[in-house]
Amino acid sequence: MDETTIAKGNRRVVAVDGPAGAGKGAVCRGAASRFGLAYLETGALYRAVGLISLRSGIGNPDALTRAAGEMPFAFRPVGGGEYAAFLGDEEVTLALRAEEVGQAGSRVAAMPGVRRALLGFQRRYGQDRDTILDGRDVGSVVWPDADLKIFLTASLEERAKRRALELQARGETVIVENLIARMLERDQRDAERDHAPMCAAPGAILVDTTSLTLAQSREKVNNLIAALFA
Ligand code: DC
């Protein structure tokens, strides 16, 4: 089946794209609990393929495309506005957050076959519920017919600072300069690839969170969603 023909139907879809560390996850989780939306962090799918690639040593695009199509991935709410990612019975939420898995996710995300293999899951997700998804190409490729498109961004330095705090809270040692260099490399790979590069989709509303707190970022996005549902 051509996955792009999976219809949106009557449900409303909110697409939130932007670079790593802009606060997409926290903002979307907040919106999902506030408005009762299904939520999918699409980056977790690419990270899961990246994790499979790192664990198995497979780097071949055809083999990874097959793995992406067959992987038993699930993304489930676990209460308190939190979500957990599973590969079969194994919970991989924490494993997926590792910096090297993000890099591996970004590398496999440049493979057109892998992207195609993950499209159906993204379009089916939420089924007939109002849904919010975050990623890099949700508004441009996954749901070009989304009801609301937001491009959430922040300066590279601010994003690196936030990611450093997150990693430090998990007990990881962080050298901020290295983090900035790795984030820049990932941003460039995600924005410059040939297939479905990260971009603000036509009609997307730009939300720059550089000088906003998380609460302020959430409020801004929630106001946009509230206007859609009014
Ligand atoms: O959002 P994230 O940092 O978890 O995403 C990990 C990588 O996955 C990111 O560097 C690029 C890729 N990705 C993508 O290409 N398209 C998406 N919709 C989401 C993520």
Cβ atoms within 10 A of the Cβ of 114, count? Answer: 26
Cβ atoms within 10 A of the Cβ of 125, count? Answer: 18
Q: Per-residue pLDDT for 1 more than 70? A: no
- 32: tokens are 């999902």
Residues 150 and 73 in one domain: no
Nearest CA to ligand 1 atom 10: 106
Beta bridge partners of 161: none
Does 28 reside within a domain? yes
The CATH number given to whatever domain includes residue 45 is 3.40.50.300
At which of 129, 160, 186 does a domain end?
A: 129
Specify the 3-state DSSP secondary structure of 76.
strand
Distance 111 CA to ligand 1 centre (A): 12
Least confident of 4-13, 62-71, 146-155: 4-13
The per-residue pLDDT for range 97-132, each reduced to its tens digit, is: 988 999 999 999 999 999 999 999 999 999 889 999
Cα 29 from Cα 128, distance rounded (Å): 19
Domain with 56, as residue range(s), is: 38-129
The per-residue pLDDT for range 132-173, each reduced to its tens digit, is: 999 999 999 999 999 999 999 999 999 999 989 988 998 888
How far is CA 111 from its chain centroid? Answer: 17
State the pLDDT at residue 3: 64
**pTM score of the predicted model:** 0.94
Cα 113 from Cα 61, distance rounded (Å): 7
Q: Per-residue pLDDT for 178 more than 50? A: yes
Single out the residue of 20, 24, 46 nearest to residue 115, CA to CA. 46
- Within 6 A (CB) of ligand 1 lie 20, 42-43, 46-47, 102, 105-106, 109, 135-138, 186, 190
Task: Report how many domains make up the chain.
Answer: 2
Least confident of 29-38, 152-161, 169-178: 169-178
Q: Per-residue pLDDT for 81 more than 90? A: no
State the pLDDT at residue 127: 87
Nearest CA to ligand 1 atom 12: 106
Distance 172 CA to ligand 1 centre (A): 22
Q: Which residue has the higher pLDDT, 2 or 27?
A: 27
Residues 19 and 43 in one domain: no
DSSP classification of residue 23:
S
Provide the residue type at 75 as one letter. F
What is the best residue among 51, 108, 136, 192 to mutate for testing ligand 1's pocket, by most ligand atoms within 8 Å of CB? 136
State the pLDDT at residue 2: 56
Cα 36 from Cα 39, distance rounded (Å): 9
State the pLDDT at residue 187: 93
Does 44 reside within a domain? yes
Distance 85 CA to ligand 1 centre (A): 15
